[in-house]
């Protein structure tokens, strides 16, 4: 998949790192967390977080005992996630 310059420019503004961590978007974070905890197998298990952004979900999944691998087409996101 090719990443367009426009996509890289948008996500290169570095807004995504805080988006799910503060403000009203925390609701999206909590809801996703709730759904995933109900459908994922019990840890330890492997999780592939495709399009995982800066790692908001990978972080808590790893803390819960999952072996998480994050993939994202935006280099800044991968740097932030690691």
pLDDT confidence of residue 21? 86
Q: What is the number of structural domains in the chain?
A: 1
CATH code for the domain in which residue 70 is found: 3.40.50.150
As averages over each run of 10 residues, the pLDDT of the chain (82 residues) reads: 86 85 92 98 97 95 98 92 88
Query: By residue range, what is the domain housing residue 57?
Result: 5-81
What is this structure's pTM?
A: 0.86
DSSP code, position 42: S
The whole-angstrom separation of Cα 17 and Cα 37 is: 22
pLDDT confidence of residue 51? 93
pLDDT confidence of residue 17? 81
């Amino acid at each position: 998949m090719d990443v367009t310059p426009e996509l890289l420019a948008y996500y290169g503004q570095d807004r995504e790192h805080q988006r799910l961590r503060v403000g009203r978007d925390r609701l999206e974070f909590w809801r996703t967390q709730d759904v995933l905890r109900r459908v994922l197998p019990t840890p330890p298990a492997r999780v592939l977080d495709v399009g995982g952004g800066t790692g908001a979900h990978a972080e808590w999944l790893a803390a819960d005992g999952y072996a998480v691998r994050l993939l994202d087409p935006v280099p800044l996101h991968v740097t932030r996630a690691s």
